[in-house]
Amino acid sequence: MNDDRRKHVVWIQKGEKLEEHTTASAQETMAIAKQFAKTLHGGEVLALSGDLGAGKTTFVKGLALGLGITSPITSPTFVLMKVYVACISLCHIDCYRLSSQEDLLAIGADEYMGKQGVVTALEWSRRVKGLLPKDAIEISLEIL
């Protein structure tokens, strides 16, 4: 986990509504995500963007906590997709190693994305923009 004390900015864009949070640590970023998770009902697709080290995985960890998922959230970079089953399940996808939108379908992501009872969080989502639903919630993270 990032134990850095750098300031991060988290933007959450849901339709027309844009929220901006400035956080002073990874812990605070997690807390924002945890709070945000409480507003989700399942079926949402979260498109995360931000550079390496910007706090995307930290955000997803907070999200999982908020959804009541107790198992550790580890990086999905290697296996591309991890699914955590709970009342509202979490599908954690990392598009870092994907080269095209079709790759996302090839790994079977459409079995989970946008489905009832599943919150899907995609890291490096810009690589698969065309496959994201119109109502995808955009979450951008940046180091200040």
Partner 1 sequence: MTILGIESSCDETAVALVSYASGRFSVLRDLVASQAKIHAKYGGVVPEVAARNHSMALIPLIKKALGKKRPDVLAVTSGPGLITSLLVGVQTAKTLSYLWKKPMIGVNHIEGHLYANFVSEQAIRFPAVVLIVSGGHTELLLMKGHGRYELLGSTRDDAAGEAFDKGAKILGLGYPGGPALSRLAQQGDASRYPFPRPMLDVPGFEFSYSGLKTSLLYRVLEMKKKRIQFTNRVIADLCAGYQDAIVDILVSKTARALRAHSVHSLICGGGVMANSELRKRLSGLLADSFPGVSLYYPSPRLCTDNAVMIAAAGAFHAIKKMPRMDAWKKIDVSAQWELAAKKQSV
Which residues form the interface with partner 1 (CB under 8 A)? 1-4, 6, 51-53, 57-58, 61, 71-75, 77-84, 97-100, 102-103, 106-108, 143
Q: How far is the CB of 49 from partner 1 (least distance, A)?
A: 16
Helix (H/G/I), strand (E/B), else coil: 78:
coil
Q: How far is the CB of 135 from partner 1 (least distance, A)?
A: 25
Comparison of 52 and 87: residue with beta carbon closer to partner 1: 52
Q: How far is the CB of 98 from partner 1 (least distance, A)?
A: 7
Comparison of 108 and 133: residue with beta carbon closer to partner 1: 108
Per this entry, what is the length of the chain?
144
Q: How far is the CB of 75 from partner 1 (least distance, A)?
A: 4
Q: How far apart are CA 54 and CA 23, in angstroms?
A: 12
Q: How far apart are CA 94 and CA 79, in angstroms?
A: 9
Q: How far apart are CA 144 and CA 132, in angstroms?
A: 28
Q: How far apart are CA 51 and CA 44, in angstroms?
A: 23
